[in-house]
Amino acid sequence: LQIYQARQVYEESVHTWTYQHCIETLGLDQLEVYNRYRVVPEIHQKIRITNQRLESVLRSDIDLTNRDELETFVMAYTFFAGVFEGCWFYNGFSPIFALQRRGLMKGTAEQLQYIMRDEVLHANFGIKVVNQIRLEEGLTLDPKKLREMWDQAEAAEAAYAGYILRDPILGYCKEDHLEQFRFVANRRARQLEIEEPFPGAQCALPWLDEQANLRKEKNFFETTVTDYQAGSALQWG
């Protein structure tokens, strides 16, 4: 667990650097972009929810031998793996990928594909940790608390979708974004072995999974193998 968490911290640092490089290369106002999580309510709401749900488990004196604190820890980890990384992050890449499918922002989208590949691993790892703790400790999560978690996450995602997609783009709109969130949420719930929160939700963006299943197996002698790129080597065309 410690070894993988160390790798995850490293990967998150690479992701931050990659986002920064994309912002700089696209010529965006860095301060304005970095400050949006404070000034845009639809973004800040997600940060606020995350802080509230993770605050209790970031205490150095948390006692996991206490059943109540153990349940709080597992609920927080369920949110982090199942919602924050498993749904919000997963769904959050779709606007750029929608443009990539139309031949736009292909370089930026490729960089986000690498990030998404890592985030899927992070989510799956967290889900396995949650399931193993519940198995070893005989822990059953409160259905009411799970329902509240999903409803809160859906409301935040709906607000976010309305902010980024006030006007639809070709083949993609806020209704599709939210329905895809519900569809992915059901998938995460099945992985967590809990009840699906949104029965009947349909896959609105069938191409999104293709982005998560990035493959770079190539013949070394016939082509150039690429991964995270930096500086002038990045191809944005």
pLDDT for res 211: 72
Note whether 114 and 227 are within 8 A (CB).
yes
Q: Please state at what angle helix 41-55 crosses helix 67-78, rounded to 10 degrees.
A: 150
Confidence band (pLDDT; 50, 70, 90) for 224? Answer: low
**Segment 42-53, tens digit of pLDDT:** 999 999 999 999
Residues 22, 9: Cα–Cα separation, whole Å: 20
pLDDT of 213 above 60? yes
Tell me the two tokens of residue 191. 């992985």
Which superfamily is assigned to 42-56+64-215 in CATH? Ribonucleotide Reductase, subunit A (1.10.620.20)
Distance CA 131, CA 36 (A): 35
Residue ranges of domains in the chain:
42-56+64-215
What is residue 169's predicted lDDT score, i.e. its pLDDT? 85
**Phi and psi for 72 in degrees, rounded to 5?**
-60, -40
Return the CA Rg of the chain: 19
pLDDT tens, residue by residue, 55-83: 988 888 999 999 999 999 999 999 999 99
Amino acid in the structure at residue 84? F
Residue 215 has pLDDT above 80, yes or no: no
Average pLDDT over residues 13-33: 92
Average pLDDT, integer, range 167-173: 87
Percent of the chain with pLDDT over 90: 72
- Rounded to an integer, the average pLDDT of 184-206 is 96
Mean pLDDT of all residues in the chain? 89
Average pLDDT over residues 196-221: 77
Residue 218 confidence (pLDDT): 47
Helical (H) or strand (E) element with 185:
helix 174-191
Note the pLDDT of residue 170. Answer: 81
CB contact at 8 A, 91 and 180: yes
Any idea of the CA torsion for 186, 42, 19, 171, to the nearest 10 degrees? 60
Token pair 């929810």: residue: 49
Q: What share of the chain is helix, strand, coil (3-state, %, to 5)?
A: 70, 0, 30
Classify the C-alpha dihedral 93-98-102-105 as positive or negative: negative
Model pLDDT, residue 226: 55
pLDDT at 128: 97
